[in-house]
Amino acid sequence: MKNQAKRDFTISKEKRLLFNLLITVIPVLFFIFIELLLRVFNYGDNFHLFINHPDEMYSQYRVVNPDIGKKYFQRFEYTAPAKDIFLKKKPDNCFRIFVMGSSTVVGFPYEDNLMFSRILQERLQDAYPDKKFEVVNTAITAINTFTLLDFFPQILREEPDAILIYAGHNEFYGAFGVGSKEAVTHNRGLIRLHLKLMNLKVYQAIRNMVGTLAKARDKSPAEKRGTLMSRIVSKADIVYNSKDYQKGIKYFELNVSSMLKKAKGKNVPVFISDLVSNIKDLPPFKSIETKEYKPADYYFNLGKNAEKQGDYGKAYEYYTLARDYDCIRFRASSDINSIVRRLANEYKAHFVPTLALFEAVSPNRLIGYNLLTEHVHPNVNGQFLLADAFYQKMVVDGIIESHVNEYTVEPPEYYLINYGYTEVDRLIGYHRITNLSYHWPFRDDTKEYIDYRLIYQPVSYIDSLAFFVMARKGFNGADAHLKLAEYYANRHDYYNAFREYNALVKINPYWAEYYRRAADYLININDLPLALKYFNQSLIYEKSFYAFFRAGEIYLIKNDLKNAIKYFSEALELNDKMRIRVLTKLYVAYVYDNDEANAAKTLELLKDTDPGINVPVPPRQYTYINFIPQQTVPYIENARDLIARSDFAAAIKILNESLKIKDSHITNRMLGELYYRNKDAVTALFHLKKVYEEFRFDPRFLHLMIIAYLANDQKTEAYKCLEELGALDPMYPGLGKLKSYFSNNPHQ
């Protein structure tokens, strides 16, 4: 009976399997249910790196998620990435670049206009005008390669043509680094699992609850002051070759290796740079002597002595050792750079030798405050040099399926003069770095704290604006540039007003209003080509009446009647209140274009609007050549005086100097004429071809192009210009003589 009862209560193998399955599945289903419920109620955060742009005006774009930093920072504030956008549907002629890194790539201590990625984009666009470049900066301050590796799969899904990486200084103290407070664990596998789980709402809820409880139980005094740099550090002393040092180096190698392997698998070119730091002018933050190594300051002092004695090779060696043995690891060691070079070679990535470039322009190869603001962040010149390092490598390695356009490319020095930044940007950087220097590790935090923001007294209006950007919440670099633009405009200093708006264009290159305002001031300083470019750029982001109308006026001055008609017609569709003004311009354009039918229709529309209207048509004249950009006026006037004295060589010299300041259409045309006079037909044609698009509707310019082509034995191109001239002005006085140069066969 007992055995019979036991058999009755025995669970079959099938039931036991079902029971075990239910025990496993029910919790999973429960968590799935909770996950779906949290999603329905929109709990938590969207931690996708890229999101659809929330503004309806930019609905065709995706943007870097401004809240992505919250995924990596729970204890500390995070900086939002630059608001770079890219089209959801990638155009055929588009070259899309993603840039990865941390505070150096963010452009610290400057505003977004001085991020090297923005400088690089302008240089690439000038060099390859037939391409559309989308350069998307994903950098966030105080992150390291754990975050970059987490970004990487999402970047690969967005059809990148190239990925640019400058990272490694934050490997120890950045989020999840071995010395960082912003870390749930220091185990690489668990860190990666944590970052994957953070995409689940259930896991976010658990993290938030644990974080709240931890804060409630934390009895330590709140940290009220200090930079993120000083507050994020948990384990400050990381001695060279210690276990923590080796772990940080190992994690860097594994993370970078994983990224390069993923990119190679997708055939996406990666440009990865070695890292630059201040070895000459910044003593070690902290020195600790061990059994194996002397303290860092020992080698720094040896470096100073060697430099004084003129032994720069030894000085370089000692300064580098001092940097490597500094146990406060805010500067990447030589081991980091060695790993970058080795992995780039192993995975056939494009190694960018930024360090060699910085050393090449530093006295005796010793990098210091000449190119860096403090320990690692480039100053203004350094930002342009960093952009140049990536630019040169991309061009030399030929990954862009096009040739550099010799007529539009500019030398790197040109951008230092003409790129969108001003004195207030330099001062903003100065105040941020000075404020940084009042905190650890630049000062002994055991001594009395002095708040730079409370003791500094600005010395000028520009300085006060820059200082407020650093010291006051709610006042940013864009606000400072707007204030200065207004200041200059009120004093009729339109050139400097333009420069402030040009900086704003680079701070936010997707805001149409900045382009329009910059273009207005360009018109005031007679720079019509750039004004037209900026009006057209604004139209990419917003179809506005004002931009169409003002651009139409410039096209009319250029004698480009087809575009003038097109733009005036677009303006008419957008603003009926300005109907008479637009129709008047449109009527003039039709008359000049000899389009009698449309001129009559337009005149009829004008009279329907205002029966008593009188529409005078001024004599058709080519006045575009009279608009000389303000910066070049002294050079042009001086050159004309020299030409009047037949000193052509001196005129050429001064005009070439002018090109370094401003690559003006007027200057190039004058140089073309002068070189032709001096029997240098090759150089003459080069300068004329540079400005062909600016003057192609000027009969006299086409005449000059024809004879320049003939002087270079390029009859086919000369004949094309002859046909253009004939279509443009059939009654041109020299047309018959020009035709005689071609006899019966225009190609011989």
Q: 81-118 pLDDT, tens per residue?
A: 999 999 999 999 999 999 999 999 999 999 999 999 99
Highest mean pLDDT among 323-327, 400-404, 443-447: 323-327
Amino acid 30: pLDDT? 61
Amino acid 221: pLDDT? 44
Residue 189 pLDDT > 80: yes
Please answer whether residues 275 and 336 qualify as being in contact, where contact means their C-beta atoms are separated by less than 8 angstroms.
yes
Beta strands 350-352 and 270-273 are parallel
CA 551, 556, 561, 564 torsion-angle sign? positive
Residue 136 pLDDT > 80: yes
Q: Please state, for a pLDDT cut of 90, what percent of the chain lies above it.
A: 81
Residue 156 pLDDT > 80: yes
Mean pLDDT (the chain, rounded): 92
H/E element, 61: strand 61-64
CA 638, 644, 649, 655 torsion-angle sign? positive
Cis peptide before 66 (omega within 30 of 0): no
Of 69-78, 352-361, 394-403, 556-565, minimum mean pLDDT range: 69-78
Q: How far apart are CA 115 and CA 152, in angstroms?
A: 21
Amino acid 24: pLDDT? 65
Highest mean pLDDT among 180-184, 522-526, 620-624: 522-526
Please answer whether residues 558 and 587 qualify as being in contact, where contact means their C-beta atoms are separated by less than 8 angstroms.
no
Burial of 214 (0-12, 13-18, 19+ CB in 10 A): exposed
Cis peptide before 109 (omega within 30 of 0): yes
192-231 confidence digits (pLDDT tens):
988 898 888 777 777 777 766 656 665 544 444 567 777 8
Please answer whether residues 128 and 68 qualify as being in contact, where contact means their C-beta atoms are separated by less than 8 angstroms.
no
Please answer whether residues 304 and 274 qualify as being in contact, where contact means their C-beta atoms are separated by less than 8 angstroms.
no
Amino acid 5: pLDDT? 46
How much is the average pLDDT of 477-484? Answer: 98
Amino acid 332: pLDDT? 97
Burial of 691 (0-12, 13-18, 19+ CB in 10 A): buried
pLDDT band at 27 (very low <50, low <70, confident <90, very high): low
**Residue in 1, 117, 720 with CA at minimum distance from that of residue 419:** 117
Cα diameter, the chain:
132
Tell me which architecture the domain covering 626-740 has in CATH: Alpha Horseshoe (1.25)
Amino acid 330: pLDDT? 96
**Residue in 344, 340, 337 with CA at minimum distance from that of residue 359:** 337
| Distance, C-alpha 533 to centroid of its chain | 18
Q: Which residues have a Cβ under 8 Å from the Cβ of 203 and sit 6 or more positions away?
A: 197
What's the CA angle centered on 76, arms 72 and 78, to 5 degrees? 60
Q: How far apart are CA 117 and CA 136, in angstroms?
A: 8
Residue 730 pLDDT > 70: yes
pLDDT band at 577 (very low <50, low <70, confident <90, very high): confident
Residue 400 pLDDT > 90: yes
Residue 624 pLDDT > 70: yes
Q: How far apart are CA 7 and CA 122, in angstroms?
A: 83
Got the DSSP string for 544-611? Answer: -HHHHHHHHHHHHHHT-HHHHHHHHHHHHHH-GGGHHHHHHHHHHHHHHTT-HHHHHHHHHHHHHH-T
Please answer whether residues 694 and 705 qualify as being in contact, where contact means their C-beta atoms are separated by less than 8 angstroms.
no
Of 206-210, 429-433, 622-626, 669-673, minimum mean pLDDT range: 206-210
532-568 confidence digits (pLDDT tens):
999 999 999 999 999 999 999 999 999 999 999 999 9
Burial of 745 (0-12, 13-18, 19+ CB in 10 A): exposed
Tell me which architecture the domain covering 423-609 has in CATH: Alpha Horseshoe (1.25)
Amino acid 43: pLDDT? 67
Highest mean pLDDT among 9-13, 68-72, 344-348: 344-348
H/E element, 13: helix 13-40
Highest mean pLDDT among 2-11, 36-45, 228-237: 228-237
Amino acid 183: pLDDT? 84
| Distance, C-alpha 645 to centroid of its chain | 46
How much is the average pLDDT of 564-590? Answer: 94
Amino acid 215: pLDDT? 62
The pTM of this model reads 0.93
Please answer whether residues 507 and 478 qualify as being in contact, where contact means their C-beta atoms are separated by less than 8 angstroms.
yes
Please answer whether residues 568 and 549 qualify as being in contact, where contact means their C-beta atoms are separated by less than 8 angstroms.
yes
- Residue identified by tokens 């210091």 is 368
Q: How far apart are CA 314 and CA 463, in angstroms?
A: 41
What's the CA angle centered on 400, arms 399 and 405, to 5 degrees? 135
Q: Which residues have a Cβ under 8 Å from the Cβ of 495 and sit 6 or more positions away?
A: 521, 525, 630, 631
679: left (phi over 0), alpha (psi -120 to 50) or beta: left
**Residue in 465, 494, 493 with CA at minimum distance from that of residue 478:** 465
**Residue in 154, 165, 190 with CA at minimum distance from that of residue 47:** 154
Quick one: fold of 50-286+326-418? Rossmann fold (3.40.50)
Tokens found for residue 163:
């990925």
Amino acid 444: pLDDT? 82
Q: How far apart are CA 561 and CA 439, in angstroms?
A: 62
